[in-house]
Amino acid sequence: MNNTSNNMASPAVQQTLQRWHEMVATRDMSVLEQILAESVVFYSPVAFNPYPGKAVVSFILQNVIQVFENFTYHRSFVSDDGHNVVLEFSANIGEDQLKGIDMIRFDDQGQIVEFEVMIRPKRGLEALAAQMGERIKAFQPQ
């Protein structure tokens, strides 16, 4: 992970980020169970209302990794307190290219408690919304 800010993530956050990057690289999403807090909240780039809870956030993240093609992280930024990280990424969905950021907040144990995504341009965001909209309709909480 390229840390382009002068701040360092806390040791627990660093460990979770390492696991996160390995998960994304291998597309083995089984680690989500351990790194997501029970009360995690996901803020979608296309929906106004957040998605609370580990089950739905896990479902979203497991599906979005299938929708994105050529997903690559480029830069990262860490807050002064070491518990907030911004990861810049690029990907495409078919012919549509997009850039975005993952804004992730961690608790003291290094679990993800908040995950917010911003994406541009509009065309890439619309392609993501179409793909994920169909998948979200199929979601049934356990």
Amino acid at 124: G
Determine, yes or no, domain membership for 117. yes
In a domain, 73, yes or no: yes
What's the CATH number where 105 sits? 3.10.450.50
Q: Fill in the DSSP letter of residue 3.
A: B
Q: In this predicted model, what pLDDT tens digit does every residue of 31-83 receive, in sequence order?
A: 999 999 999 999 999 988 999 999 999 999 999 999 999 999 999 999 999 99
Spatial distance between the Cα atoms of 120 and 122, rounded to a whole number of angstroms: 5
The pLDDT, as a whole number, for residue 105 is 98
- DSSP annotation of 48 reads S
In this predicted structure, what is the pLDDT of residue 7?
A: 77
pLDDT in tens, 74-129: 999 999 999 999 999 999 999 999 999 999 999 999 999 999 999 999 999 999 99
Residue 71 lies in a domain: yes
CA 40 to chain centroid, in Å, comes to: 12
- Bridge pairing between strands 96-106 and 84-93: antiparallel
Cα–Cα dist 73/61, whole Å: 15
Q: For residue 132, which of 57, 53, 23 has the smallest C-alpha distance?
A: 57
Question: What is the tally of structural domains in the chain?
Answer: 1
Domain of 70, in residue numbers: 11-137
User: How many C-beta atoms surround the C-beta of residue 138 within 10 A?
Assistant: 8
Q: Locate tokens 């070491």: which residue?
A: 82
